[in-house]
Amino acid sequence: MKLTEEMKAKVESILARMTLEEKIGQMNQESPSIVGGFDVPFSELIEMLTDGRLSQEEFEKLMSTAKQDFHEDEIRAGLVGSVMGNDPRKANELQKIAVEESRLGIPLIIGFDVIHGLRSVFPIAIAEAGSFDDALFEETAHMAAKESRAHGISWNFAPMIDVAHDSRWGRVSEGPGEDVFLGSRFARAKIRGLQGDTSSEQNYVAACTKHYVGYGACEGGRDYNTVSMAPNQLFNTYLPTFRAAMEEGAATAMAAFNDLNGVPCTVNRYLLRDILKESFGLQGFVVSDANAIRECVIHGIAADDEDAGVQAANAGMDMDMGTHIYKDHLKKAVEDGKVSMEVIDEAVRRILRVKVWLGLFEHPYVPEDVIEAYEKGIPAGHAQLSRKAAQESVVLLKNEGGILPLDSAAKVSLVGTLADSVDEVTGAWAMGWKKEDCVTILAGMKNSGLDVAYYPCAGPEGGLNEDELEAATANGDVIVAIVGETTAMSGEASSRADLTLPGRQKEMLEKLLASGKPVVTVLMNGRPLALGWEAEHLPVLVEAWHLGIQMGNAVADVLTGAVNPSAKLASSFPAGNGQCPVYYSHPSTGRPAGKSKFTSKYLDAPAEALFPFGYGLSYTTYEYSDLKIDEKEDCLKISVRIRNTGSRAGTEIAQLYMQDVAASLVRPVKELKGYQRVFLEAGEEKEISFGLPKKEMGFYDNDGKYRLEDGLFRIYAGTSSRDVLCGEIFVSFKV
């Protein structure tokens, strides 16, 4: 977000004309409330939709029939700065009130959760991150921005850039996985895609980086839970994605629900003012998460609503999402001297900056022809991009006996209730899609020309239909089993303690296997699952996540071999439940897991992940050789040769890691420092090289100070965080 002098002057001139009430109004975000027999705030409805209490259909019906209060009078009175919603005509109506009927004509900033696409839903973030494709991250974000703007949304509550190590946490689905380096590149690309560099173009939105900060480290993976960590962990693992987003010019940030070391992020002055605004240089504003200011009372950090509002405003929380606490209490707090006018002015200035920069004053409305175009369907090209993103996000975990790609003449028995449900392809936090745009796996396989017969048999919920199972095994040459989680089993408020396949799906797989027919298992899920049994017994495992509207076509593309899978895991998979959290970049212990009993391991589970970060197979194979490390003045140049040793072309995601062998703080056993997508024809060999800037080889200490310490570094390059070549170099950072 680059602000010109002219923009800044415009902000100041508006600010100078505002009353205190109008200023506080800008700090207030309203959600339409459903009134008349259904007294639930819109934000809760959205959560109900997300966690499965409401289906998409029920939600749409409710929205079209229920009487809603859109707070028109308050908008007219200048008491609302932002609303939530995704209906373009309603957006225009409300915007008209704000622009043409309020005293100062300040447009609303309309926000919505467009996490992985609006109408054109893309793969959930944890899946897309596995493509390691920055250009794709940017392109899908840009398309989401374009569709958002066409629906009146100028502010996306995305990207979600919480690094997370514990897949019990349901929200791992919404973010880029376990790694800080990948997460930071993902964050930057998403900001570029959402915001572009021309603020006034109608195709871009303000990004809202979330959830600031440490939410991914909630204790035990239980949503909304407490977070405690040492400063070095905060600075090295959880803050960098936000630092990267701010460097890229992210316009806004959303504070996380959790407390960090005892202080809820919502009222955490150190996090909001000192780090985010002062140190990282956020130019725009911070919004609370839904209801979070009021929750400070429940946290036991504020005595009452007023106290919570005072603490939040003073900590640098610029906008209140949905509680009315600012609207109801801030004026008196200012009059009583508990909150200064400077605090209010700073918040409003930040909010106005974003509105001015977005060009909302010049272009507050969605043009009617744009609304009509979307009513006819999504523009050409959107489904193709969704399909490409989905293809690039499928991870081949196991392919024994070359069962895949499927023989095009084979009779396929497709089983699993997930295979035929449009509600399950889009995954958590997808709210603008239309049924007619969604391709299920059953539909996709039929589209591909395969001879498919469908037998639902069993799913994540419900029973097991033995008759269908028997027919499936009797009739097919090969069985394709779709198993996993429903959409509602991941996302917000969807932590799970048992990460094995839910329901009777394992039993179904056992029975399918016992038939002696080849079984291809395709997983649809929103988090790393515990697949110890499956990895041991099933010949083929394909991780297909929730891939978006084109899921079915993309899965068929991979199963038939039309597409050679290339994605890698952005998050490690445990073998069993008790291994969580499991992640590759853990700090070195004094007793690394080994043969001896007295080492860091479990008696009854492996110490290492079943499938580690960066892991993923292809229909071809790659061989790495010749790792070379060259020291230049300000960087290391690392080269490695990769040969496609199989019989078909493919794209390999080559990864670069390092280890700081001895430092003044314990460092991770490996840290990702680079990646590249490398296309190789069958038999082709290429030398690729990575530049590792020396300034990126340091770490933050417990005072938040960045340190570059001379010493030995191990450099690794390879196909996953586990399977790498290794070299060593002594690096001196002194000039």
Catalytic residue ranges: 289
Q: Measuring CA to CA, which residue among 316, 305, 173, 196 is closest to residue 255?
A: 316
Q: Measuring CA to CA, which residue among 274, 237, 280, 272 is closest to residue 256?
A: 272
The helix/strand/coil state of 725 is strand
Task: Give dist(CA 33, CA 27) in Å, integer.
Answer: 18
Site for ligand NOJ in 606-635 (CB under 6 A): none
- The answer to whether residue 46 forms part of the interface with ligand NOJ (CB under 6 A) is yes
- The answer to whether residue 289 forms part of the interface with ligand NOJ (CB under 6 A) is yes
Looking at the Cβ atoms of 152 and 616, the one nearer to ligand NOJ is 152
DSSP bridge partners of 159? none
Q: How far is the CB of 641 from ligand NOJ (least distance, A)?
A: 44
Binding to ligand NOJ by CB under 6 A, coded x per residue (else -) over 451-490, reads ----------------------------------------
Tokens in use for 648?
A: 């078909």
- The answer to whether residue 259 forms part of the interface with ligand NOJ (CB under 6 A) is no
- The answer to whether residue 525 forms part of the interface with ligand NOJ (CB under 6 A) is no
Site for ligand NOJ in 580-599 (CB under 6 A): none
Tokens in use for 297?
A: 């009372």
Widest distance between CA atoms in the chain: 79
- The answer to whether residue 492 forms part of the interface with ligand NOJ (CB under 6 A) is yes
**For tokens 């009617």, what's the residue?**
368
Looking at the Cβ atoms of 323 and 553, the one nearer to ligand NOJ is 323
Site for ligand NOJ in 16-45 (CB under 6 A): 43
Q: How far is the CB of 289 from ligand NOJ (least distance, A)?
A: 5
Do 582 and 574 touch, CB atoms closer than 8 A?
A: yes
Q: How far is the CB of 149 from ligand NOJ (least distance, A)?
A: 18
Task: Give dist(CA 586, CA 601) in Å, integer.
Answer: 13
Looking at the Cβ atoms of 160 and 538, the one nearer to ligand NOJ is 160
> What is the C-alpha radius of gyration for the chain, rounded to an integer number of angstroms?
26
Q: How far is the CB of 290 from ligand NOJ (least distance, A)?
A: 4
Binding to ligand NOJ by CB under 6 A, coded x per residue (else -) over 152-181, reads -----x------------------------
Looking at the Cβ atoms of 205 and 531, the one nearer to ligand NOJ is 205
Q: Phi/psi zone of residue 454: left (φ > 0), alpha (ψ -120 to 50 degrees), beta?
A: beta
In which element (H, E) is residue 716 found? strand 711-718
Site for ligand NOJ in 672-701 (CB under 6 A): none
Q: Measuring CA to CA, which residue among 217, 306, 290 is closest to residue 255?
A: 290
The contacts of residue 187 (CB under 8 Å, 6+ apart) are 159, 161, 176, 209, 241, 242, 244, 245, 248, 250
Looking at the Cβ atoms of 43 and 525, the one nearer to ligand NOJ is 43
Looking at the Cβ atoms of 157 and 235, the one nearer to ligand NOJ is 157
Looking at the Cβ atoms of 84 and 415, the one nearer to ligand NOJ is 84
Residue closest to ligand NOJ when measured from CB atoms: 157
Task: Give dist(CA 524, CA 393) in Å, integer.
Answer: 12
Q: How far is the CB of 624 from ligand NOJ (least distance, A)?
A: 39
Q: Measuring CA to CA, which residue among 224, 306, 235, 236 is closest to residue 265?
A: 224
Q: How far is the CB of 429 from ligand NOJ (least distance, A)?
A: 8
Q: How far is the CB of 125 from ligand NOJ (least distance, A)?
A: 12
Q: How far is the CB of 596 from ligand NOJ (least distance, A)?
A: 44
State CA 617 to chain mean position distance. 23
Looking at the Cβ atoms of 43 and 505, the one nearer to ligand NOJ is 43
Q: How far is the CB of 74 from ligand NOJ (least distance, A)?
A: 20
Tokens in use for 379?
A: 């523009």
The one-letter amino acid code at 396 reads: L
Per-residue b or e along 435-457, where b marks 16 or more CB atoms closer than 10 Å to that residue's CB: eebbbbbbbbbbebebebebbbb
Looking at the Cβ atoms of 284 and 416, the one nearer to ligand NOJ is 284
Looking at the Cβ atoms of 147 and 660, the one nearer to ligand NOJ is 147
Contact with ligand NOJ (CB under 6 A): which of 10, 71, 190, 210? 210
Do 572 and 653 touch, CB atoms closer than 8 A?
A: no
Q: Measuring CA to CA, which residue among 517, 513, 519, 514 is closest to residue 540?
A: 519
The contacts of residue 711 (CB under 8 Å, 6+ apart) are 660, 661, 662, 663, 730, 731
Binding to ligand NOJ by CB under 6 A, coded x per residue (else -) over 551-580, reads ------------------------------
The helix/strand/coil state of 593 is coil
Other Cβ atoms closer than 10 A to 337: 7
Other Cβ atoms closer than 10 A to 590: 7
Contact with ligand NOJ (CB under 6 A): which of 290, 308, 313, 343? 290
- The answer to whether residue 295 forms part of the interface with ligand NOJ (CB under 6 A) is no
- Whether omega for the bond prior to residue 565 falls within 30 degrees of 0, making it cis, is no
Q: 514: exposed, middle or buried (C-beta count within 10 Å: 0-12, 13-18, 19+)? A: exposed
Q: How far is the CB of 29 from ligand NOJ (least distance, A)?
A: 10
- The answer to whether residue 116 forms part of the interface with ligand NOJ (CB under 6 A) is no
Looking at the Cβ atoms of 47 and 128, the one nearer to ligand NOJ is 47
Contact with ligand NOJ (CB under 6 A): which of 113, 259, 318, 534? 113
Please give the size of the binding site for ligand NOJ, defined by CB under 6 A: 8
State CA 448 to chain mean position distance. 30
Looking at the Cβ atoms of 209 and 417, the one nearer to ligand NOJ is 209
Task: Give dist(CA 524, CA 307) in Å, integer.
Answer: 45
Q: How far is the CB of 43 from ligand NOJ (least distance, A)?
A: 6
State CA 5 to chain mean position distance. 34
Task: Give dist(CA 425, CA 121) in Å, integer.
Answer: 9
Do 689 and 705 touch, CB atoms closer than 8 A?
A: no
The helix/strand/coil state of 623 is strand
Q: Report which DSSP code applies to 236.
A: I
Q: How far is the CB of 297 from ligand NOJ (least distance, A)?
A: 18
Judged by the rule CB under 6 A, the positions of this chain that interact with ligand NOJ are 43, 46, 113, 157, 210, 289-290, 492
